Amino acid sequence: YVFGGVTVVGETPASTTANPTLTTLTPAEECTSRNASCETCVEDVRCLYCFKDKSCKLYPKETILPGNDVCPLGEARWGPKLCWFNLKALIISMAVVAGTILVSVCCCVYCCCCRSKGNKEKYEREDAREVSRREERRQQHEMRMAERTENNDNIRRKYGLLKDGVPYQQMNNEKP
């Protein structure tokens, strides 16, 4: 049986032989020994299962993707428990996810950095408008207050409560 890259020859899990014979398999031989099914093949991440010839092969580490001489991408299965997902679809879906993330990051950078300059100018214009509106309101308030004071003074004059000219008199503290 195969255990972690080491094949124990002459011993079954139930037997109790004292000196088992150990031989070390190369990774290619180990993948070839996993030809039983796709599931047993892809348990080892170094192996690639090809449905075209129904064989388990060593994944070519030298190239990023296995060439058509090893196995066509649409027929290749690789990765733990991914027999239902072919390598071509895996590559396409990973590229789509990576592209979506890249576009999202670029949009965020644009919105946060590039558009903030225009926003500063916009906020400065709004602040200037608000200051001028506040100044207009203050002037209108002062004008209304002056009109109210004038109306109150006219009413006081009419009823003799306010003498013309000086509205207040200085009080004399001297006793006559």
Residue 12 within a domain: yes
Instruction: Write out the residue range of the structural domain in which residue 40 sits.
Output: 2-84
Residue 107 within a domain: no
pTM of the model: 0.46
Asked whether residue 56 falls in the same domain as residue 10, the answer is yes
Residue 52 within a domain: yes
Residue 103 within a domain: no
Q: Which residue has the higher pLDDT, 75 or 12?
A: 75
Asked whether residue 10 falls in the same domain as residue 57, the answer is yes
Average pLDDT, the chain: 80
Beta carbons of 58 and 28 less than 8 angstroms apart:
yes
Q: What is the model's pLDDT at position 17? A: 52
Q: Which residue has the higher pLDDT, 5 or 31?
A: 31
- Residues 161-173: what's their mean pLDDT? 64
Q: What is the model's pLDDT at position 137? A: 97
Q: What is the model's pLDDT at position 130? A: 95
Asked whether residue 63 falls in the same domain as residue 133, the answer is no
Q: Which residue has the higher pLDDT, 164 or 59?
A: 59
Q: What is the model's pLDDT at position 1? A: 44
Asked whether residue 79 falls in the same domain as residue 144, the answer is no
Asked whether residue 59 falls in the same domain as residue 121, the answer is no
Residue 70 within a domain: yes
Phi, psi of 48 (to 5 degrees): -130, 130
Residue 108 within a domain: no
Asked whether residue 27 falls in the same domain as residue 71, the answer is yes
Q: What is the model's pLDDT at position 75? A: 85
pLDDT at 103 over 50: yes
Residue 129 within a domain: yes
Residue 8 within a domain: yes
Q: What is the model's pLDDT at position 118? A: 66
Q: What is the model's pLDDT at position 59? A: 85
Asked whether residue 23 falls in the same domain as residue 65, the answer is yes
Split at pLDDT 50, 70, 90, the class of 100 is very high
Split at pLDDT 50, 70, 90, the class of 24 is confident
Domain count for the chain: 2
pLDDT (tens digit per residue) in 121-160: 778 888 999 999 999 999 999 999 999 999 998 888 888 8
Could you give the CA distance from residue 52 to residue 54 in angstroms, rounded to a whole number? 6
Asked whether residue 11 falls in the same domain as residue 66, the answer is yes
